[in-house]
Amino acid sequence: MQAILQQAAAAAASPRSRSCRPFLSCGFICTMLSLSISTGRMSVERLGMALSSVWDGGNATWALSERPVLQPAWDYLRQNHESTLRSPLFPVLLSVSTYLLLVLLYTTLDLLAPTWPSIRRFQIHPDHTVTWASIGNTLVLTTYNHLLYIFPAAVAQWLWRPAVPLPREAPSLAAFLFGILGCTVVFDFQYYLWHVLHHRVSWLYSTFHAIHHQYRQPFSLVTQYLSAWELFSVGLWTTVDPVLLQCHCLTGWAFMVFNVWVSAEDHCGYDFPWAMHRLVPFGLWGGVLRHDIHHLHPGTNFAPFFTHWDWLAGTACAPSAKLRENECDENNTKANGRRADKGA
């Protein structure tokens, strides 16, 4: 495997191939992906390093190089916070604290929006007001789930799992970014399948997922207004996917933060200029507008992040300017979400 990758990288970097470097680079990438799929042994770290060698060979000025761009930050964390980072509790604390900070920010905006037009103009539903009753209701269930399920699981992991070893080397910037992307793609597929299944099977919907759809106009605290089973599923994939892709622990923690961030953004109820669906081109990212439609039309937009699975399955529903409930094709909504609507 290593010899094949080195030969492909050398071929892509040779002077004779400069005129056709884009095609060789694409071919090299496809070759590596095919080999990784067929052997199942190539990690995201190796993929990122190999991609870096292609760009370096092409005299590109991209920052995605093998040079340890993240090494100074990683050395600082290891030298000053090693005991904290090695604790099995650290990923849980990182995820929960990130979520609480985002919820605090968005809830503050919700409370200020009725009197601040500069905030209200970014709301998807400017006529809808987030009440203290709704905040209290969602906060109670979130606290209940964390105290009854998350905290005991974290303590058990802390007692039974040994401290996490910290590698001396930081991931390359390419491996770091491709690792987050890879985990996001895998998580998106996992949750899409889970989501479709729990809308199609009425028992699964009414037992585990209907609670999340109690709010047709979501706000940030609805992000984790979930049943214990759904919270467990999401937490499991977020934890396991970086391990399956053999990511550096720093990459895995960054993916956790990114996952919490975009999940909270999907439910925040605001369409800001810096929202992910505005940053990712070609309509590849669903974002807050499409997920808001999912809460209005439960038979559409099942994927949490990307849009390709919904387009392929015929469940995509693009947002309109006013996000009215009749903006999607009613026949498609009834065909794909009949059982979900009964549960909601």
Tell me, yes or no, whether 64 lies in a domain.
no
Please indicate, yes or no, whether residues 171 and 249 belong to a single structural domain of this protein.
yes
Please indicate, yes or no, whether residues 225 and 299 belong to a single structural domain of this protein.
yes
Q: Burial-class residue 23 by CB neighbours within 10 Å (0-12, 13-18, 19+).
A: exposed
Tell me, yes or no, whether 73 lies in a domain.
no
SS3 per-residue string spanning 294-323: HHHCCCCCCCCCECHHHHHHCCCCCCCCCC
| Domain coverage including residue 171 | 87-343
pLDDT band at 88 (very low <50, low <70, confident <90, very high): confident
Instruction: Supply the pLDDT for residue 63.
Output: 47
Helices 90-112 and 71-86, axial angle in degrees (round to 10): 100
Residues in the chain: 344
Please indicate, yes or no, whether residues 159 and 26 belong to a single structural domain of this protein.
no
Q: Is the pLDDT of residue 342 over 70?
A: no
Cα distance between residue 106 and residue 112, in whole Å: 10
Residue type, 116: W
Give me the mean pLDDT over the 88-102 stretch. 93
Q: Is the pLDDT of residue 182 over 60?
A: yes
Tell me, yes or no, whether 280 lies in a domain.
yes
Which CA distances in Å does 337 have to 142, 197, 199, 296, 324? 26, 11, 7, 11, 17
Tell me, yes or no, whether 70 lies in a domain.
no
And the tokens for 218? 């979501």
Residue 285 DSSP code: B
Number of structural domains (the chain) is 2
Tell me, yes or no, whether 78 lies in a domain.
no
pLDDT band at 258 (very low <50, low <70, confident <90, very high): very high
Tell me, yes or no, whether 152 lies in a domain.
yes
pTM (two decimals): 0.77
Please indicate, yes or no, whether residues 40 and 94 belong to a single structural domain of this protein.
no
Please indicate, yes or no, whether residues 311 and 245 belong to a single structural domain of this protein.
yes
Please indicate, yes or no, whether residues 96 and 194 belong to a single structural domain of this protein.
yes
Tell me, yes or no, whether 66 lies in a domain.
no
Nearest by Cα to 31 from 17, 14, 51:
51
Please indicate, yes or no, whether residues 119 and 26 belong to a single structural domain of this protein.
no
Residue 31 DSSP code: H
Residue found under tokens 């849980």: 92
- 49 or 74, which is more confident? 74
Please indicate, yes or no, whether residues 129 and 6 belong to a single structural domain of this protein.
no
- pLDDT tens digits, one per residue of 15-47: 444 444 433 344 444 444 444 434 444 455 555
Q: Burial-class residue 68 by CB neighbours within 10 Å (0-12, 13-18, 19+).
A: middle
Cα distance between residue 33 and residue 205, in whole Å: 36
Please indicate, yes or no, whether residues 43 and 160 belong to a single structural domain of this protein.
no
Please indicate, yes or no, whether residues 155 and 239 belong to a single structural domain of this protein.
yes
Tell me, yes or no, whether 47 lies in a domain.
yes
Please indicate, yes or no, whether residues 207 and 320 belong to a single structural domain of this protein.
yes
Cα distance between residue 312 and residue 309, in whole Å: 5
Give me the mean pLDDT over the 270-282 stretch. 95
